[in-house]
Amino acid sequence: MKFIIQRDQLIASVQDVMKAISSRTAIPILTGMKIEARSNGITLTGSDSDISIESHIPTEEDGIVNIEDIEEGSIVLQAKYFPDIVRKLPEKTIEIESDSNLKVTIRSGKAEFNLNGQDAEEYPQLPKLQSDDSFKIPTDLLKSLIKQTVFAVSTMETRPILTGVNLKLENGKLNFTATDSHRLASREIPISGSSNEFPSIVVPGKSLNELYKILDDTEENVEISVTNNQILFRTKHLYFLSRLLDGNYPETSRLIPEQSKTVLQVKTKELLHTIDRASLLAKEERNSVVKLSTMGNELLEITGNSPEVGRVVEEISVQSIEGEELKISFSSKYMLDALKAIENDEVKIEFTGAMRPFIIRPANNDPILQLILPVRTY
Amino acid sequence: MKFIIQRDQLIASVQDVMKAISSRTAIPILTGMKIEARSNGITLTGSDSDISIESHIPTEEDGIVNIEDIEEGSIVLQAKYFPDIVRKLPEKTIEIESDSNLKVTIRSGKAEFNLNGQDAEEYPQLPKLQSDDSFKIPTDLLKSLIKQTVFAVSTMETRPILTGVNLKLENGKLNFTATDSHRLASREIPISGSSNEFPSIVVPGKSLNELYKILDDTEENVEISVTNNQILFRTKHLYFLSRLLDGNYPETSRLIPEQSKTVLQVKTKELLHTIDRASLLAKEERNSVVKLSTMGNELLEITGNSPEVGRVVEEISVQSIEGEELKISFSSKYMLDALKAIENDEVKIEFTGAMRPFIIRPANNDPILQLILPVRTY
């Protein structure tokens, strides 16, 4: 194998593929990165067996030559050293060559690295998904869906299914839902031009977090394919495969109250900053609890209290308060997460009493829903 | 005590003073920050008993009013919460008030924090140094002196005296020297207009690191005063006091070889980047060792080697090589630290054989000296 490649192109691809590589893995060769040279370009592969990422650099694209002097072949290199080496090489082009003894030479300017490679034949084959029943959504929309839900997954391994995000595609609607059983985040978008459906699947939160990091903020489409145990996200040069979580995701729709006793509408940012300040004095507790009280029809009072340190109280003007008076306590962390996930200027919050879950939605009725269970403080 | 103050002014002062405050201290009140209001301004004080910092905000400066409605008094506040509170307050002005029960109220906009304070009478008095025998140097020059030497202090508590930087003022010259017994960094500058002298003192490296962070990059002077157990750095609004380390600093001048057998001159950045690349394959070892070999009169070869991973070799053109041929191994970390401390474009390196310490100086003969002990690899 041999090729000469533009350093910046290689750096970008290496960074993407590294997201799938872990230094702790049961399969030693997976601590390496596979490099495959074909006449049409170079493909880098990384995998921790839960997530697999392939990044392709075409030989030529839009009239620009990325790679020259290709001799086909493949090799696996230690991922621990390769990214730093590529990043610190002195010149803009890099020559990579491997011989029949699996010795790899990386040259750039006067610098020459000789590395021990591993046989690419020993690298596991990635499953090739059938992509017949796939659908497409714009990359930036997929990133929003992830960002607005994935923070609510559970970090506890006691109920593994809750560490994933529940995806459904039914009746032309794609739904993302995550819950750790104390709060829930969900969003639905219409998918047009696809007769496709898949039932409830669960994608590990970790996979979606890594996917979020390597996707660009672009309107170009991501193609998504689902089988019964894997999901594939494919962009022009990227192939991101994740296993699915086994098990049945709990039915969450019954958690969502259908009636409400108190409804308020408030500026998102104003509430966010007020909650943030109220949370300052309760750092000791894990999810520092704050209290919200309605004061007539136009004011809320937000308070935080930490007996040893002190107390904070702040009034905030709201657009409207309808229904019963209310005093309720909740985790400021959950509330801050929920408010950050809503891009709209105003939010509508619907309460059904101090002991019942409450719902936060954007005031423009976008189908984003954040649900939080209150904390009993009386 | 009561006053109304510009938030941004207060944030800057609080950040500086926090550098002296530790949450782990034998004297509980030192986990707090002392706030003192006088008609001429507000003074904040923090201390961990090794370092003490006072920051003063004048009531009025250059015609700009910083503080209003002052009622004199003082209080000590929990430093764990105060910085975040100040930073997150909603408005540009902040009102701080304490009552006779040590209750403190902080108001800004509609936010109100009620905190439990502590009696300022219980806060230790900072020793007031006589500043009769002080001298002055520009702040940016002091920062250079610190940056070029402090990295070489020892981090091991086995010889506590080596965790400090040795300062001397003799014959109109100020000298900073640090060594961890494997390498040494030193710089000397002339001090004009001062008849002052002080013998060898040792300032904790930690103190100088914190001082470096809070000093601005300005040509304005810092006033330095020394007693037998403390050193004071004073700028317009800042008072930084550090204890000195007890004990005799070792005589370092005899470590510095007076003759050399091989002398080379090389571009600083080029050597730095080459050493950096050569160090990549030896991450496992603590101070990854690289090897330097002269190749005739114009080339150096730098190599790094890690049996399991591979080998890197790079040639580098030098300005000149004089004297004997040389092969020498040394810690790449020490070499990188030394080269980073030298601002000049070219460095001169003087060797006295593969087993003897070698010296790195700027080629322009500025009195900066970096010394490194080689590693025995044969």
The order of strands in the sheet holding B164-170 is B198-204, B164-170, B173-179, B183-190, B368-372, B358-362, B346-351, B262-267, B320-323
Please report the pLDDT score of residue A130 as a whole number: 65
Quick check: A89 and B277 CB within 8 A?
Answer: yes
Q: Is A114 on the interface with B (CB under 8 A)?
A: yes
Set of chain B residues whose Cβ sits within 8 Å of the Cβ of A111: 274, 277, 312-314
Tell whether B273 is within 8 A of chain A (Cβ).
Answer: yes
How does strand A262-267 pair with strand B73-78?
Answer: unpaired
Mean pLDDT of chain A: 92
Angstrom distance (rounded) from CA A64 to CA A42: 15
Indicate yes or no: CB of A85 within 8 angstroms of CB of B311: no
Residue of A nearest to B282 (CA): A81
Please state the φ and ψ torsions of residue A135, each to the nearest 5 degrees: -140, 165
Question: Is A27 a residue whose pLDDT tops 80?
Answer: yes
Q: What is the set of domains in chain B, with CATH numbers?
A: 2-122 (3.10.150.10), 134-253 (3.10.150.10), 256-372 (3.70.10.10)
Q: Do B281 and A81 touch (CB under 8 A)?
A: yes
pLDDT of residue A197: 80
Residue A93, SS3 per DSSP: strand
Nearest to A335 by CA among A319, A315, A351, A320: A351
In contact, A227 and A221? CB cutoff 8 Å: no
pLDDT on residue A295: 94
Interface of A with B in 161-190 (CB under 8 A): none
- Interchain contact B91–A (C-beta under 8 A): no
Helix axes A139-149, A205-214, angle to 10 degrees: 140
* pLDDT higher than 70, residue A219: yes
Consecutive 10-residue runs of chain B (378 residues): their mean pLDDT? 96 96 90 97 95 96 94 95 94 96 96 96 83 84 96 93 95 94 95 77 97 95 90 94 94 89 96 95 72 93 89 94 95 95 94 94 92 84
Percentage of residues in chain A having pLDDT higher than 90: 81
Instruction: Give the pLDDT score at B76.
Output: 97
- Under 8 Å between Cβ of A42 and A71: no
In this prediction, residue A287 carries a pLDDT of 62
Give B-chain residues touching A114 at CB under 8 angstroms. Answer: 310-313
pLDDT at B281: 83
Q: Are residues A14 and A77 in contact, defined by beta-carbon separation less than 8 angstroms?
A: no
A111 closest CA partner among B326, B302, B267, B321: B302
Per-residue pLDDT tens for A60-119? 999 999 999 999 999 999 999 999 999 999 999 999 999 999 999 999 999 999 999 999
Please write the tens of the pLDDT for every residue from A34-45: 999 999 999 999
The answer to whether residue B299 neighbours chain A at the CB level (below 8 Å) is no
Cα-Cα end-to-end distance for chain A: 70
Name the residue facing B314 among A104, A110, A115 (closest C-beta): A110
Q: Do A310 and B114 touch (CB under 8 A)?
A: yes
Are the CB atoms for B6 and B92 separated by under 8 Å?
A: yes
Q: Tell me the ipTM for this assembly.
A: 0.86
φ/ψ of A281, rounded to 5, equals -85, 5
pLDDT tens per residue, range A314-365:
999 999 999 999 999 999 999 999 999 998 999 999 999 999 999 999 998 8
Residue A378 has pLDDT above 80, yes or no: no
Record: contact A309-B114, CB cut-off 8 A:
no
Interface of A with B in 6-25 (CB under 8 A): none
Question: Which residue is closest to B279 within chain A, CA to CA?
Answer: A85
Interface list for B 300-359 with A (CB within 8 A): 308-316
